[in-house]
Amino acid sequence: MSQTSKIIVSLTCPNCGGQVHSEEGETLVLCKYCNSVFSLTTDEGIRKIMYRLDVTRKKAETNFYEWLKEGPKAKDLEKKAQISEAYPIYLPFWRLVGRGKACVCGIEIQKGDKDEPDRRIPHESLVNREYIYSDIACDPGDLGIAAIRIPEHAEAVEFDDESIVTFGVTESRDDAYTEGSEQIKRQAIADGKRSMDEVHFSKAFFFEKAFSLVYYPFWIIRYTFEDRAYFAVLDGITSQIISGRAPGNAGSQSTAAALGGTLSGAVLAAFIFFGFALGALEAIAILFAFGLIAAAGIIGFAYKRFRYGDEILEGAMKGKGLKRGKKQQCLETNYENTYDMFN
């Protein structure tokens, strides 16, 4: 399940109307039909690429209902959930593909036993890898999306902002480039450190291969369950669940815990009452205070769980609740394209 390090973009030749292909990172295209050459960079000097929405509403809703059945979600959620709206949307991502090269020198320490001292083994590594960095370029609000994974063999088209609904780009290209290239350099050094316990020298370089703004399609499904609003986000090409919020089935347990807390408090109070009647005042007073604090704690914990924690959070979601799913990482290594040397 590796993501592609090479995006193929199909576009229409402005001269003859033929369908031609170009690779991400290319700025000039030669039309194989009419031999005309045309430039691809936009006004801001950045290439904009988009993917077509592949997943139909029906497919998105089917997968959404399957997701409602998974994991410890509320009982009969897939029967009781009401979809309030479902719509496709394009989100922009900065995507930086490049080579991270690093030279790292250091020492590996092999622990000796009582007769032998520690062995210090010097290592030198030269890392030369291709990395893919992606970062959401807009503020996605509470959608829980931070990065993108582009499926292999997916074909992109030149960006056409007339035809799609999208979020505006809020992160500057310079910030994205700096962040991406720094992360790649840091990762190259981290990969070079490998078995070293001490690093005495490290230096990294970044070589850009492609930098683009990728518009990727998603389905947003908003739904309600017992008068509360939830949502799910699906990949518009693979139809996988990317992120979402769902009610958990811990509600009944929390209620039980809350009742249990109240009950144990009451039992304790009764015990203390009789304790008072029987004497030993000091010990009873300490127990009383301790009992009150414990009861308040249990009730508070149960209330909080019931109030906030009783949710399933899928993907890169913030907040309280049971976290599930895999958060898409901003940085990935393309292992097919590495030329490392470890000594």
Instruction: Give whichever of 34 and 229 is closer to Zn ion, judged by the CB atom.
Output: 34
165 binds Zn ion (CB under 5 A): no
Determine the size of the site formed for Zn ion (CB under 5 A). 7
Q: Which residues pair with 87 in a beta bridge?
A: 220
The CB-of-31 to Zn ion minimum distance in angstroms stands at 3
Pairwise CA distance, residues 99 & 310, whole Å: 44
Instruction: Report CA-CA distances (Å) from 43 to 48, 106, 311.
Output: 11, 46, 45
Residue 22 carries which side chain, given as an amino acid letter? S
Query: Binding string, 14-43, against Zn ion, x = CB under 5 A?
Result: -xx-x------------x-xx---------
Cα 57 to chain centroid distance, Å, stands at 24
Q: Map the footprint of Zn ion across residues 97-136, applying CB under 5 A.
A: none
Residue 32 or 69: which CB sits closer to Zn ion? Answer: 32
Separation of alpha carbons 205 and 333, rounded Å: 15
Closer of 18 and 122 to Zn ion (Cβ): 18
Q: Which is nearer to Zn ion, 16 or 281 (CB)?
A: 16
Give me the least distance between CB of 33 and Zn ion, in Å please.
4
Listed ranges 11-19, 46-54, 72-80, 112-120: which one lies at the site for Zn ion (CB under 5 A): 11-19
Q: How far is the CB of 26 from Zn ion (least distance, A)?
A: 16
- Pick the closer one to Zn ion by CB: 18 or 112: 18
Least Å from the CB of residue 72 to Zn ion: 57
Out of 13, 169, 196, 246, the only residue in the binding site for Zn ion (CB under 5 A) is 13
CB 326 within 8 A of CB 3: no
Kindly report the CA angle at 313 between 311 and 317, in degrees rounded to 5? 130
Signed CA dihedral, 50, 51, 57, 62: sign only: negative
User: For Zn ion, which is the closer residue by CB, 37 or 278?
Assistant: 37
Residue 132 falls in which region: left (phi positive, over 0), alpha (psi -120 to 50) or beta = beta
- Least CB distance to Zn ion at residue 25 (A): 21
Footprint of Zn ion on residues 274-313 (CB under 5 A)?
none
User: DSSP alpha helices (H): ranges in the chain?
Assistant: 57-69, 77-80, 173-193, 251-278, 281-304
Nearest distance from C-beta of residue 21 to Zn ion, angstroms? 12
> What is the b/e burial string over 140-156, where b = at least 16 CB atoms within 10 angstroms of the residue's CB?
beebbbbbbbbeeebeb
CB 249 within 8 A of CB 72: yes
Shortest Å distance, C-beta 160 to Zn ion? 18
Supply the minimum distance, in Å, between the C-beta of residue 15 and Zn ion. Answer: 4
| 33 or 339: CB nearest Zn ion | 33
Find the angle CA(309)-CA(313)-CA(314) to the nearest 5 degrees: 165
Provide the binding-site residues for Zn ion, judged by CB under 5 A. Answer: 13, 15-16, 18, 31, 33-34
